[in-house]
Amino acid sequence: MTRMVAHGTNLGPLELTDGCWGVGDAARPGTRWVEFRPAGLLQHEPDSEGSLTPWSRIMIGIWFTWGEHSWGTNGRGAYTLRGKVAGRGTGWMHMTLRDPHENHQLRFDRHERPYRAVDVLRLETLMRRLVDDGRPHLLGDPEWLGRAVPHLTGGKNTWITNRALRRATAEAIETAG
């Protein structure tokens, strides 16, 4: 089941806007967001050409936190009783890079719409699985991602197990080809 918003399909902070997949609000002028490109993750910031993190540098894990500062988000943020990410403002995509080995954060401005916690978990699981499998470059293929994301959207916004997340991710990867 595909959920549509004003500019395309979405999964938590991931959204298709004008043919580009990215994390954060790319449609609003003057915002920070992260574009998924064939070469890697491109951090867009106001008054900047952006900086590229190549897929080959991403070593382990990708996870999201919420808050104004990346260093103050170890608790992963707050969630509502209805299973939504609480608050507005800034989000962070964290990862560990190689050559040189370092922790890295990419900042993005959140959309006006709330993110379902289950969608954020599904997105994290998809990204981690592709990194673990040595195939993070698939995230930079808009057509592939366009086939995988609809398979992960929708459903109940309830507590979900790691096993269910892994199963849904495996099915989405298989469906996307």
pLDDT value of position 76 = 59
pLDDT value of position 4 = 35
Domain segments of the chain as ranges: 4-176
Q: What is the maximum alpha-carbon separation in the chain?
A: 43
pTM value > 0.85 = yes
- Alpha-carbon dihedral of residues 28, 36, 90, 96, nearest 10 degrees? -170
Task: Note the Cα 164 to chain centre separation in Å.
Answer: 19
What pLDDT tens digit does each residue of the chain (177 aa) get? 233 343 338 999 999 988 899 999 998 999 999 999 999 999 999 988 899 999 999 998 899 988 876 665 555 566 666 667 767 789 999 999 998 899 999 999 999 888 888 899 999 999 999 999 999 999 999 999 999 999 898 777 666 788 989 999 999 999 998
Task: Note the Cα 45 to chain centre separation in Å.
Answer: 17
Q: CA-to-CA distance for 17 and 77, rounded, in angstroms?
A: 26
Task: Note the Cα 26 to chain centre separation in Å.
Answer: 13
